[in-house]
Structure 1
Amino acid sequence: MTAMSWDPAAALGEERERTRERLAGLTGDYAGIVEASVDSNADDEHDPEGATIAFERSQVGALVEQTRLHLAEIDAAIARVADGSYGTCERCGGAIAPGRLEARPVARTCITCASR
């Protein structure tokens, strides 16, 4: 895909939809883990299985939070497309390379500033 044919608004829209679907799935998984542990009389601290339940809950909870943050990054990138600042580095004001934007559409900085 060349930079000329790549449409950031479309790419971000597709990534937003995939991320929303992932968030819905993870939220359902988390709710299922919590619901399953409610009926259990397992003592997470002292039951050998309890540690596994607590770990799963913690792991899925972290993935939910990470996905929510990514969704916020996508929304911010969509706003930058709308206001015309998409593709401009937030640190130095230079252009963000099209290849970087294709690889990471939510990028806010150019490669030089990102590596600092």
Structure 2
Amino acid sequence: MTGGAEADGSARERLLALRATTEARLAALGGTFEEVVAASEDTNADDEHDPEGATIGFERAQVVALTVSAQRTLDDVDAALERLADGTYGTCQSCGRPIAPARLAARPTATLCVDCAQRARR
């Protein structure tokens, strides 16, 4: 990554802040999931036939999806911290060019430059 130690320190701070936020979100989601499960155990709901059952099932699925997303973010942050440690952070994994600082500020876990990310989406 261009910019030296100061830029690396700033990137590390952003990544660690994102990691802390994501860990807190995961902890909250774990509690939410347990609350949804506990709420469904306290009722005599039949998910298949009871109109409320679909709501309970939806809530469980939503919490699971949010948990998977948060875990993926945590994995991405850890991978970015590894790239920072080995000196490859801020280098596009596709073309090898530097990733723009503005992109890294917006997406600290980015692995692709804007051009390569656009090509990957097509």
Does the alignment reach a TM-score above 0.5? yes
Equivalence for 2:70: 67
The match for 1:50 among 31, 48, 53 is 53
RMSD across aligned positions (CA): 1.3
Task: Report whether the alignment pairs 1:113 with 2:109.
Answer: no
Greater Cα shift, 56-65 or 34-43? 34-43
Equivalence for 1:40: 43
Equivalence for 1:15: 18
The match for 1:25 among 25, 28, 33 is 28
TM-score by length of 1: 0.94
Counterpart AA for 1:45:
E
The match for 2:91 among 73, 88, 91 is 88
How far apart in 2 are the matches of 1:44 and 1:8?
46
How far apart in 1 are the matches of 2:11 and 2:56?
40
What are the Cα deviations for residues 30-75 of structure 1, in whole angstroms up to 9, with x where unaligned? 1110111122220001001111010111111100111001110000
Counterpart AA for 1:77:
A
Gaps of 5+ in 1: none
> More helix by proportion, 1 or 2?
2
TM-score by length of 2: 0.89
Return the offset for 1:93. Answer: 0.5
Q: Percent identity?
A: 52
Task: Report whether the alignment pairs 1:77 with 2:90.
Answer: no
